[in-house]
Amino acid sequence: MPFVFYRSVSAGWRVGVAASLDGLHVLVRDGPVEETVSASDIYVPQLSEAEGDAQLLLHMPDHPSIFLQKRNAALMSPTPLVGLPPVVDLLRYRAANDEFLTDIGDNFSLLLGEGGFTGGGTSDCEIALKAALAWKVSHKRQVVVSSGHALPSLSGALLDTCCTLFEATPLQRSMVAAGVRVISAFTSTVGRRHMCYLQAHVCVKEEAAEELQCVCLECNHLFVTGIGGPNDFNFKIFSYILYGLTEQGRERLYINHRQRSFVCQSSIEDAALIARLQEEYVAFTRATEALGLSGATLQAVLRQVAAIVHLTEVEFYADGTPSNLPALKSVASLLELDFEECLSTFSSREVCVTAARLLYRAVVVTLVKKVNAALRFAGKATRPPPSITLLVMPPLPPAGSDSLENIVLATMYEEVLQAFLRTSDHEVVQWQRAGLCAPGKLQELFAPMDNYGLLKLLYGLGGVLSLARSARGEETVKPALASCAKSAHARLNASTLMLTLDHSFGTRQYQFPRATDDAAPLKSVYHADFKTLTHISYRECGCRDARSSARPDADGGWCRATRRCRRVAPREALA
């Protein structure tokens, strides 16, 4: 029975075992699940007997066009294979073949790719100018610029070029540059590598004389596995604390002035590099001032980052008692927690590392929101304006590598571009499995995180899916939906019982029936261990019905319950 890639009706492209490859339909076994799949949705790879599933996904020498759907990006959802990210590969395919425009079904344009404008030693400013000029003449509402192997400086160069083209004022340009500098301190490393999927949206008014309306930065899928383990890629903010602060500043964060090496920050011996980091820290503090962030806000951020540093230092003896009580006391002081509460909460190395990573994500999310508030120059937009989106990601892992870190990175690429949640829920799952109840102070820090809030809204007690399983009739559904709609992620149309959830790649809508007679079964689309749900039907703006091979109508999508076309407003943008 051969391994095959198959398009699941519920979970996108997956790996399974086919009973036979004969006929128009093929029975595929994927763990405990068996599924009948159309032969056109089957791809048989070439692999040796020694290779396993995870290695197989990273060792594909050629990317088959069946996965790319290179003429229609809308048909590339739902989630494709791990290690074969759809939009990234679509961008790479088009760049390699000099296809820099779009076709039917796309809601974005490709302007440059890793094999296109970025080759030949072209400077960041030249790349940025070409991309921005191409956007200006493309008349597209949404433009995507791929720069997977670019230095962090490209995002700043592109933003500055766009601001220049749209005649931004000197103050606006300086504030945009300040925003990029502040965020890059948390998303790039001392070695000048991106460790996240960064989106920069430049929005302009649709008028004859274009005017810069706002710049919105999004930091999705921050790659934080280096925090708490052997770390060759130190985030700049850790270096700023150790080398940029004065002795008094470090003492306020409970860091010994002689200490230069932590788990999350290797000691730096190069005097020239230390001098550069000190200069960067001064520029970083000036950037926070330019954005209007108060000194108290900056100190609060540094205290939280210092708490992360100390959390990574906590080790445990064989009997489960912590071996570094001073570090734990520092965590309690910095986060304003009771020490006894800290002892009971941070009870293992795994919990400490998970909390450090989760806290780092929370700090970044909060900071990004403050930066975006400062970069909103024309008030709140009434409708999505045209925008250019720069995708900046860590480089893809080597194709021949099967190390765990590279498999995780390849998985991140897949999650980045198709997953519903903005950031990976891996740390949240670890946190929950540890049986941990976050203290109130920490809960406040985690509240702004998109993944944490969305997980609770979707899967928590009283959330969308539990409501779909249990609610009966409008009299019980309506108040429960109103409770869900209190979340910042959700909107409820009380007259139609339509719950709308926003995320970085569009809008997802859940249509609840008014009576149990209207209920239709569906499956959770984005999770492999899906369960059959009832009392809810689902539609997705501008996307292909996962159960149907039909394409979406030009003005809408397909109802999964009735298989009839719904006049649903299409998604205007990927992000």
Asked if 89 contacts 417 with a C-beta cutoff of 8 angstroms, the reply is no
**Stretch 395-403: mean pLDDT, rounded?**
47
- pLDDT tier, 174 (very low <50, low <70, confident <90, very high otherwise): very high
Among residues 498, 533, 529, 534, the alpha carbon closest in space to that of 517 is found at 534
Asked if 533 contacts 521 with a C-beta cutoff of 8 angstroms, the reply is yes
Among residues 432, 519, 423, 528, the alpha carbon closest in space to that of 468 is found at 519
Question: Distances in Å between the alpha carbon of 240 and those of 68, 89, 245, 283, 516?
Answer: 42, 36, 7, 11, 58
Residues spanned by the domain of 539: 460-566
In a domain, 544, yes or no: yes
Q: How far is CA 391 from the centre of its chain?
A: 11
For residue 110, give the amino acid letter.
L
The pLDDT value given to residue 179: 92
Runs of H (alpha helix) within 253-381: 271-290, 295-311, 325-335, 339-345, 349-374
DSSP-assigned letters across all residues of 104-131: TT-S-EE---TTTTT-TT--HHHHHHHH
Burial-class residue 479 by CB neighbours within 10 Å (0-12, 13-18, 19+): exposed
In a domain, 10, yes or no: yes
| Calpha distance 285→283 (Å, rounded) | 6
| Calpha distance 386→101 (Å, rounded) | 16
pLDDT at residue 546 tops 90:
no
In a domain, 231, yes or no: no
**Stretch 222-244: mean pLDDT, rounded?**
79
Which range (422-431, 479-488, 546-555) has the least confidence? 546-555
Phi (first) and psi of residue 169, to 5 degrees? -70, 160
Asked if 73 contacts 105 with a C-beta cutoff of 8 angstroms, the reply is yes
E strands, 384-542, in order: 387-392, 490-493, 498-503, 506-511, 522-523, 532-533, 537-540
In a domain, 538, yes or no: yes
Among residues 31, 46, 61, the one where a domain terminates is: 46
Q: How far apart are the first and last CA of the chain?
A: 41
| Calpha distance 433→430 (Å, rounded) | 5
If one counts the domains in the chain, the total is 2
The pLDDT value given to residue 18: 86
Which range (4-18, 217-231, 537-551) has the least confidence? 537-551
In a domain, 526, yes or no: yes
| Calpha distance 53→3 (Å, rounded) | 9
| Calpha distance 89→115 (Å, rounded) | 12
The pLDDT value given to residue 544: 33
pLDDT at residue 433 tops 80:
no
Token pair in block for residue 318: 């064989």
pLDDT digits (tens, 9 = 90+) for 128-149: 666 666 556 555 444 445 444 4
* Mean pLDDT score of the chain: 64
Residue 119 CB contacts under 8 Å (≥ 6 apart), including other chains: none
The pLDDT value given to residue 507: 54
Among residues 387, 394, 424, 393, the alpha carbon closest in space to that of 200 is found at 387
3-state secondary structure of 37: strand
DSSP-assigned letters across all residues of 297-319: HHHHHHHHHHHHHHHTT--B-TT
pLDDT digits (tens, 9 = 90+) for 20-45: 888 888 898 876 678 888 887 777 76
Residue 126 CB contacts under 8 Å (≥ 6 apart), including other chains: none
The pLDDT value given to residue 148: 44
- pLDDT tier, 268 (very low <50, low <70, confident <90, very high otherwise): confident
Quote the DSSP letter at residue 10. T
| Calpha distance 446→451 (Å, rounded) | 9
Q: Other C-beta atoms within 10 Å of 419: how many?
A: 21
| Calpha distance 199→159 (Å, rounded) | 11
pLDDT digits (tens, 9 = 90+) for 502-529: 543 345 567 776 654 444 332 222 222 2
| Calpha distance 166→133 (Å, rounded) | 11
Residue 406 CB contacts under 8 Å (≥ 6 apart), including other chains: 58, 397, 398
Q: Other C-beta atoms within 10 Å of 362: how many?
A: 19
| Calpha distance 143→126 (Å, rounded) | 18
In a domain, 339, yes or no: no
- pLDDT tier, 365 (very low <50, low <70, confident <90, very high otherwise): confident
Token pair in block for residue 540: 């997705």
| Calpha distance 575→217 (Å, rounded) | 11
In a domain, 521, yes or no: yes
Residue 457 CB contacts under 8 Å (≥ 6 apart), including other chains: 463, 464, 484, 487, 489, 490, 501
Q: Dihedral of the CA atoms 361, 366, 371, 373 (nearest 10)?
A: 140
In a domain, 309, yes or no: no
pLDDT at residue 415 tops 50:
no
Question: Distances in Å between the alpha carbon of 144 and those of 87, 107, 201, 267, 464?
Answer: 10, 9, 10, 38, 32
Helix axes 404-418, 86-96, angle to 10 degrees: 90
Query: At 10, which CATH number?
Result: 2.30.30
The pLDDT value given to residue 357: 84
Cα dihedral sign, 128-131-136-137 = positive
Residue 82 CB contacts under 8 Å (≥ 6 apart), including other chains: 54, 57, 410, 411, 414
Quote the DSSP letter at residue 4. E
Q: Other C-beta atoms within 10 Å of 168: how many?
A: 22
